[in-house]
Structure 1
C-alpha cells in the first residue's frame, strides 16, 4: 500500500516543479526574442543587400532617334500606331519635349514598336521601320503623320495601300516602291518582333511606356511635369545607360 506523501515533501517537490517551469519559460522567452532578432536582421539584410533592378539596356544605335545621339538623357518610347494614348503623347507631350529638351541637346528620343491592338498595328510598324531604314528624319515625319491620321482603334485602317499613300501624299523622301515591297514581304518583321520581345522582358504593360536612361517612368504618360522632373533628375545624376 502506497504511503501518503508528507506535506513538507510535497511542498519541496512543488517548489522544484515551479522552478523548473520558470526556467523553461525564461528559456522560451530568450528563444523567442533571439528568433525575433534574427528575423528582423534577415529583413534588414534583405532590404540592404537585395540588388536593385538594373536599368534596361537598349541597342540605341539600331533605333530611330530624334535629337543628338550623344545627349546625356535618352528616352525610349514603346508605342503602337493604333493606340489613342500614343497619339496624345505624340501630339501633346512630344512637342514640349522637343522644345525644352531635344532641340537643346539635353535629351534624345528613341522609338520601339509594341504592336498589340490589332493586326494592322503590326502592318503600321512594318511600314514605319521601312521608312526608318531609308531615312531617319523621314521616320519622325511619318511617325507624326501616322498619329495625325489615326482612325478608330477598333477598325482595320492601317492597310498597306493606306500606309504607302500616306507617304506619297505627304511627299515623304523615301522610295515608295520599296516601302510597299517591305510591307508586303514583312522585311522588318524580325526587328518589330524583337522590339515587342524587349517590351515584354521589360514588363511593359501598356503604350506609351517611357524609359528614361533605361529606367521605366512609372508616372502618367500625359503628366509632362512628372516627365520633366524625371528628366531633370537624370540630368542631375549625369549618367546615361
Structure 2
C-alpha cells in the first residue's frame, strides 16, 4: 500500500470515528479529512483509492441531513426529491476540481441528473488564497442571477495557474459576461455584499466542521468520495446509494 493510500485510509477511519460525535454534538469537530487536491499532491484522478469505508447507518443519517434539497437553490442541479444527493466541496482554482468538472460531471449529469436520479449540490470551499475567495464570491453573484452553473463551466473551462491573476476581479467579471450573466453591475454589487460573504463562509464552515481540508471532496448520500476520481468510482457510489434509497 502506498503512503498516499495509507493516509487516505487513516483519514477515512478518522472520519467514520469522528462522525459519531455529530449524534451528540451539533457539529463534527475538525480532524483532517485528507482528500486529493493540487494542494496536498496526494493522488487525484490517477489514484484509484477513492471511496471511504461504509459509515454506520446513524453516521450516514447525520451526513444525509447536510443535503439542503432547496428548490430555490441556484447552486444545485437536479430534482429536489432525487434519491441520491451528491454534495461537492470545491475551489475554482483547484486543478482536480477542474478535471472533475470537465471530464466527469457532464457524464454524471447526462446519466443521472437528467434522469431524476441524482441531485448535485455545490459548496464553496476556497482554500487557495485571495483569488479563490474572489472566484467563490463571483460564483455566488452569478447564482443570484440564475447563472451559477454557466459561470462554473466557464471558470473550469480551462486549467488556470493558481494565484496568477486568472481570477482577479476583472477576470471574473469577464467570465460572468461569457457565462451570460445579464446584469454585470448587479453582479459586482452582489460579489461585494455581506450576503455573499455570509454564504461562502457558511459553506466553508460546513466543510471544515466535517474535517474537509482539500478539494474536491464529495458526499454521495453520506458516503465520502475523496478526490477527482475516475467516473466509474462515482457511478459505483451513486448506484449503491440509489439501491439503498429504494430499500
TM-score (norm 2): 0.70
Partner of 2:173: 164
Question: Residue 53 of structure 1: which of 53, 59, 81 is its match?
Answer: 59
Task: Indicate yes or no: 2:226 matched with 1:215.
Answer: no
Pairing 1:103–2:110 present: no
Q: Which residue of 2 aligns with 1:179?
A: 187
Q: Which protein is bigger by CA-based radius of gyration?
A: 1
Does structure 2 conserve the Cα–Cα contact (< 8 Å) formed by 1:126 and 1:189?
Answer: yes
Of the three residues 197, 204, 208, the one matched with 2:205 is 197
| Whole-Å separation in 2 of the counterparts to 1:63 and 1:216 | 23
Q: Which has the higher contact order (CA 8 A, sep 6+)?
A: 2
Alignment match, 1:13: none
Deviations 1:111-136 (CA, angstroms, capped at 9, x unpaired): 0011011211011111111111221x
Contact 2:85 2:120 in 1 (8 A): yes
Q: What is the CA-CA distance between 1:215 and the residue it aligns to?
A: 2.8
Query: RMSD of the alignment, in Å?
Result: 2.1
1:132-153, Cα deviation, whole Å (9 max, x unpaired): 1221xx2111101011144201
CA distance in 2, matches of 1:160, 1:198: 26
Hey, which of these two has a bigger chunk of helix by percent? 1
2:133 matched residue in structure 1? 122
Over 4 Å off, 4+ runs:
none
Residues 140, 191 of structure 2: 8 Å contact kept:
no
Q: Which runs of 5+ in 2 are unaligned?
A: 1-55
Write the distance in 2 (CA, Å) between the matches of 1:52 and 1:176.
45
Task: Work out whether residues 221 and 241 of structure 2, in 8 Å CA contact, stay in contact via their aligned partners in 1.
Answer: yes
Q: What does the per-residue CA deviation read over 1:69-122, in whole Å, with 9 as the maximum and x for residues that have no partner?
A: 221101111100000000000000101101211111110111001101121101
Matched-pair contact (CA < 8 Å) for 1:210–1:221:
no
Determine the C-alpha separation between the residues in 2 that align with 1:204 and 1:84. 17
Instruction: Specify whether residues 126 and 85 from structure 1 end up closer, same or farther in structure 2 by C-alpha distance, changes over 3 A only.
Output: same
Partners of 1:189 and 1:51 in 2: CA distance:
34
8 Å contact 1:131–1:174 — kept in the other structure? no
Aligned twin of 2:28: none
Preserved contact between residue 63 and residue 112 of structure 1 (Cα < 8 Å):
no
Q: 2:145 aligns with which of 134, 146, 154?
A: 134
Q: The residue matched to 2:119 in structure 1 has which SS?
A: strand
Q: Distance in 1 between matches of 2:181 and 2:163?
A: 30
Per the alignment, residue 9 of structure 1 pairs with none
1:213 deviates by 1.3
Distance in 2 (alpha carbons) for counterparts of 1:130 and 1:142: 10
The one of 229, 235, 239 aligned to 2:236: 229
The alignment's TM-score, normalised by the length of structure 1, stands at 0.71
| Cα distance in 2 for residues equivalent to 1:223 and 1:89 | 9
